[in-house]
């Protein structure tokens, strides 16, 4: 059974890692999917090709999350092609690491523009195309709940800001039956954070279940939040982190 048949999803940062897994899972559940990418057109085409090969419908759009006009244009293009957007997944993000004494204002501004401002812009733009009963889902980080190491201050700040935004937005949009939720992935096996090596071993040492997540683990939770069983689940946070934040 395809729980999302007839739905349209828009996934930012959907060309790789968790975003790609989310896009493919939503398509498998029956949704038409638009993804954005900024610097990896080949990967975006691969995601679209895999979805189409499985019988789904997908569209890749170039949009830099540092540029509000590009986000708005991509959302408008997706809505024009598919007629609406039922599901917005704010997945694109960056991480700037380093001790506070060495971090620059440019790094701070870049982090806030991509991780926070772009979410605000996407939500504002998508609401004109989202029917009542829609879904807004944002990817956070387990570091927003537990920050046990040095050098993650502005990354944690940016994702923690989205927690408050999610809770408040749930009340703003609840009258339309639109749910707003947030996911906090932990260490996930992707090309940016492989599950082998000394760094990975250190991260596993902080988990209740010493296993890296797979991108598909987060994608499965997104699919549930986008589906009919989560119609009254809103303003909530969910962890997919092997107990890292427990």
Catalytic residue list: 155
- Cα→Cα distances 168→97, 160, 191, Å: 28, 13, 34
Tokens of 167: 């809770």
Distance CA 71, CA 10 (A): 11
β-sheet with 135-139: strand ranges across: 58-62, 32-37, 8-11, 87-90, 135-139, 179-185, 236-240
- Give one DSSP letter per residue of 32-63, joined into a string: EEEEEESS-HHHHHHHHHHHHHTT--EEEEE-
Contact between 245 and 142 under an 8 Å Cβ cutoff? The reply is: yes
| CA–CA distances in Å: residue 121 to residues 69, 105, 109, 117 | 9, 22, 16, 6
Cα within 13 Å of Cα(100), Cβ side: 6
């Amino acid at each position: 059974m395809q729980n999302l048949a007839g739905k349209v999803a828009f996934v930012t940062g959907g060309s790789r890692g968790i975003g790609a897994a989310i896009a493919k899972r939503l398509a498998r559940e029956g949704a038409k999917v638009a993804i954005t990418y900024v610097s990896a057109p080949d990967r975006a085409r691969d995601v679209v090709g895999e979805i189409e090969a499985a019988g789904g419908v997908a569209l890749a759009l170039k949009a830099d999350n540092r540029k509000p006009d590009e986000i708005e244009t991509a959302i408008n293009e997706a809505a024009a092609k598919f007629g609406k957007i039922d599901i917005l997944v704010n997945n694109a993000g960056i991480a700037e690491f380093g001790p506070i004494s060495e971090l620059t204002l440019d790094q701070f501004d870049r982090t806030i523009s991509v991780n926070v401002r772009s979410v605000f812009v996407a939500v504002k733009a998508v609401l004109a195309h989202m029917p009542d009963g829609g879904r807004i889902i944002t990817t956070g980080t387990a570091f927003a709940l537990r920050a046990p190491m040095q050098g993650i201050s502005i990354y944690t700040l940016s994702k923690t800001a989205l927690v408050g935004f999610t809770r408040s937005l749930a009340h703003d949009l609840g009258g339309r039956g639109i749910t707003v939720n947030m996911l906090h992935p932990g260490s996930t096996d992707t090309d940016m954070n492989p599950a082998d090596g000394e760094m990975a071993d250190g991260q596993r040492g902080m988990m209740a279940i010493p296993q890296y997540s797979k991108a598909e683990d987060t994608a499965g939770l997104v699919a549930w939040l986008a589906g009919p069983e989560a119609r009254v689940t809103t303003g909530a946070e969910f962890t997919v982190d092997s107990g890292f934040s427990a």
